Structure 1
């Protein structure tokens, strides 16, 4: 048996998140890809993803792994899988890695973007959050940059999340503006459940004058949880990049 990484992207609007669910009839990204693999390779092939994106969250660069006998003509396999899969899921690459490589546990960084627009558009209903106000970009960035000073993110974690540690090491936290579109970019070694959507909501609350930067600092210093009411919808969130060490690569001897 050989282990393979599969690189894909998807629009999460029509799915109940990444992970397969025990409830019959619940459609997820994982179950849809496993069904496609079964259709083409004629075997049940479980796949393991790099993370559990929630319902409605998208991914531009997602990695999963699976085990199978050594594959030949991978470009043809990719082409035929894409013909089986629905239009909102695309396979971009399949490549062999070391037998113990793990899509989730070997990842060293993950980068997400959250996108919103301030002028309602019928062409952005599935990948942008329509925000009815025009936030101050300088205040958004002042708030976002504050997070780079912290590693304990209890403040942004849902209760009963099951996380063993609240530590995350952010290396990027910034907003950019392009016309009427705003994008929050964040990179870390890991994220807590609901963390990014609550960070975005917090930034918007401060930019609108509904909360102060001092309140956010106090919450972070005291590990006080912010209100989940501040959390923004999943529609604007996208996993954009995931990085692995070169040591997981498989080289034919």
Structure 2
């Protein structure tokens, strides 16, 4: 039987989602905790690979187990009690055996939080920029990213990975008081893509890059032509959408 885990995590203390040698990952911690409770070796597949320090407000994963989890009373409560406080499971539910947390997803949304004023309550959760930003230019540039494009210029491609095509559905900036939120939704994302795009848009907002240069950067397919990546600590995987049963895979928005 296949089960879906709907969770969130603060990525500050983790080397990303994916298991790594000599580093603590969210995947490893979740697998170990499930294995302890279920008294069986559990392998978990996630909906994506977040980098070190990146957070997730909504993250979906799946694992296979040959018994009904319902036989374990208050299973989610007990799972959360042994997980570190930086990881919280919303719920666990049964899915079809062919459902895949990664490949069944139709789109993902990331948000990046930028502060125009220092805020001790957002320490290590948003990027403070001590300079003025032209939000109108940044939004105009972000709009140019919408559509199906090759985003190789904004990515660290894995060895052998050659497909840089992503279909960006939306890219918007929202501002509330001193907080700016960049939202971007696409069918898929390349490694480091959102942080690289964000760094480039910030440089456009500062006037360090002319807005007309963005298309040239994108079409060059050269990572060196884009700006340095924005820091990981202000990036969040916000939503993951699946085709069937939207209620079952409902995303939480408590922390947006």
TM-score, structure 1 length as denominator? 0.91
Cα deviation for residue 157 of structure 1 reads 1.5
2:46 equivalent in structure 1: 49
2:164 to 149, 163, 166: 166
Worse-superposed segment, 95-104 or 52-61: 95-104
Q: Deviations over 1:113-160 (max 9, x none)?
A: 000102112211121111111211111101111111452112211255
2:63 to 63, 66, 69: 66
RMSD of aligned residue pairs (Cα, Å): 2.0
State whether residues 97 and 249 of structure 1, in contact with CA within 8 Å, keep that contact through their aligned partners in structure 2: no
State whether residues 143 and 203 of structure 1, in contact with CA within 8 Å, keep that contact through their aligned partners in structure 2: yes
1:12 equivalent in structure 2: 11
Change (3 A) 1:80 1:13: same
The number of aligned residues is 247
State whether residues 153 and 225 of structure 2, in contact with CA within 8 Å, keep that contact through their aligned partners in structure 1: no
Paired residues for 1:1-253 under 5 Å: 2-23=1-22, 26-68=23-65, 69-72=67-70, 76-158=74-156, 160=158, 162-227=160-225, 230-246=228-244
The DSSP-based 3-state class of the residue aligned with 1:7 is: strand
Cα deviation for residue 28 of structure 1 reads 0.9
State whether residues 203 and 227 of structure 2, in contact with CA within 8 Å, keep that contact through their aligned partners in structure 1: no
Cα deviation for residue 161 of structure 1 reads 5.2
Change (3 A) 1:159 1:188: closer
Cα deviation for residue 195 of structure 1 reads 0.5
Structure 1, unaligned stretches of length 5 or more?
A: none
Q: Deviations over 1:218-249 (max 9, x none)?
A: 12233333446521100110001101121799
Q: Distance in 1 between matches of 2:4 and 2:211?
A: 42
State whether residues 12 and 59 of structure 1, in contact with CA within 8 Å, keep that contact through their aligned partners in structure 2: yes
TM-score, structure 2 length as denominator? 0.90
